């Protein structure tokens, strides 16, 4: 029996706000899969740049691709944009990436394989920092860190918003429980993970679900980056999670920030010298 005969259907949801520099590569990678996605839903969240224009161009460029563009004009934020996209999905599996993500060509195919196991309700995969030097090393380090976390943490396994998927039935079960303002003070992907776990849904780490992501977060000022990292604690405290092991990701982010910022700076300097 072929994979297509028994695999669940998969949609990809992409929340987007003012992503004119990244949205074309993101959507193009979602279109160019070895096994096509059943839906590619981009939720434009009140963009004021050329994002809407580029999305229309992509629909014209790929008329046979299932590209659906939704407008979320009621509220600003990843959470309301994500929710609109998730609610619109008709497939069995909801894939979620960021608007600067660039999926590996076999992402949909590998995601279908992961969810052949009916005990898996949600999954998250590793990332490759496509705009950083030492990409291969960084990818191995990311994979190693995520594998270790999945073994260390016996209870809460967290989804990574840049590269994740969950069953539509699981989303529908927790839809009315999630925190609607999670992306303002907390991490909305961790908030979703907690609600899934608390409702008895399993989350696994799937190393074959690989996505590229930008390292642009390293361009933040130290104070802005610290505010971002503090959202981990805000999320944990909101849900009453006290386990020290859950703090490992934020410690990792704080530890890698100086290196990432230095690498980004050297890369930009090298590029400027080439001009």
pLDDT digits 0-9 by tens, 57-78: 999 999 999 999 999 998 888 9
Structural domain count, the chain: 1
What integer best gives the mean pLDDT of the chain? 85
Q: Classify residue 221: in a domain, yes or no.
A: no
Report the pLDDT averaged over residues 245-255.
65
Q: What b-and-e string marks burial along 42-51, b requiring 16 or more CB atoms within 10 Å of the CB?
A: bbbbbbeeeb
Strands of the sheet with 122-124, listed across from one edge: 67-71, 39-44, 10-16, 93-97, 163-167, 122-124, 203-205
Which tokens sit at 4? 């297509």
Per-residue model confidence (pLDDT) at position 6: 77
The pLDDT of residue 41 is above 60 = yes
**pLDDT-based confidence at residue 211 (cuts at 50, 70, 90):** very high
How do the residues of the chain divide into helix, strand and coil, expressed in percent and rounded to 5?
Answer: 50, 15, 35
Q: What is the pLDDT of residues 129-161, one digit of tens each?
A: 877 666 666 666 666 666 666 666 666 678 888
Q: Classify residue 199: in a domain, yes or no.
A: yes
Domain that holds residue 136: 3-215
Residue, of 23 and 130, whose pLDDT is higher = 23
Neighbours of 134 (CB within 10 A): 12
Q: Classify residue 252: in a domain, yes or no.
A: no
Per-residue model confidence (pLDDT) at position 1: 45
Domain with residue 156: its CATH number is 3.90.550.10
Residues 6+ apart with CB under 8 A from 241: 156, 194, 235
Q: Answer yes or no: are the C-beta atoms of 113 and 3 closer than 8 Å.
A: yes
Q: Classify residue 243: in a domain, yes or no.
A: no
- DSSP annotation of 105 reads T
d(CA 163, CA 159): 8
d(CA 26, CA 14): 9
- Predicted TM-score (pTM) of this structure: 0.85
Q: Classify residue 206: in a domain, yes or no.
A: yes
d(CA 123, CA 274): 41
Q: Classify residue 123: in a domain, yes or no.
A: yes
Q: Classify residue 156: in a domain, yes or no.
A: yes
Alpha-carbon distances of 8 from 13, 37, 86, 94, 97, rounded to whole Å: 16, 11, 16, 10, 18
C-alpha torsion angle, residues 50, 52, 54, 55 (rounded to 10): 160
Per-residue model confidence (pLDDT) at position 190: 87
Q: What is the pLDDT of residues 155-195, one digit of tens each?
A: 667 888 899 999 999 999 999 988 866 556 788 888 999 89
């Amino acid at each position: 029996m072929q994979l297509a005969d028994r695999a669940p259907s998969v949609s990809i949801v992409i929340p987007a706000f003012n992503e004119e520099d990244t949205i074309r590569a993101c959507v193009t990678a979602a279109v160019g899969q070895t096994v096509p996605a059943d839906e590619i839903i981009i939720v434009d969240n009140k963009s004021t740049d050329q994002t809407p224009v580029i999305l229309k161009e992509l629909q014209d460029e790929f008329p046979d691709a299932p590209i659906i563009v939704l407008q979320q004009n009621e509220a600003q934020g990843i959470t309301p944009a994500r929710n609109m996209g998730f609610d619109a999905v008709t497939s069995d599996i909801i894939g979620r990436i960021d608007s600067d993500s660039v999926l590996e060509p076999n992402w949909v195919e590998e995601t279908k394989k992961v969810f052949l196991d009916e005990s898996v309700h949600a999954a998250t995969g590793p990332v490759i920092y496509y705009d950083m030097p030492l990409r291969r090393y960084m990818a191995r380090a990311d994979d190693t860190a995520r594998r270790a976390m999945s073994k260390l943490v016996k209870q809460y396994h967290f989804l990574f918003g840049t590269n994740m998927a969950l069953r539509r039935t699981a989303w529908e079960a927790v839809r009315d429980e999630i925190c609607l303002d999670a992306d303002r003070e907390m991490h909305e992907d961790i908030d979703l993970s907690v609600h899934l776990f608390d409702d008895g849904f399993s989350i696994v780490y799937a190393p074959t679900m690989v996505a590229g992501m930008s390292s642009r977060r390293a361009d933040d000022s130290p104070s802005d980056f610290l505010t971002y990292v503090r959202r981990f604690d805000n999320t944990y405290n909101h849900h009453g999670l006290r386990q020290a092991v859950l703090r490992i990701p934020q410690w990792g982010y704080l530890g890698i920030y100086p290196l990432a910022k230095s690498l980004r700076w050297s890369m930009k300097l090298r590029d400027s010298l080439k001009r």
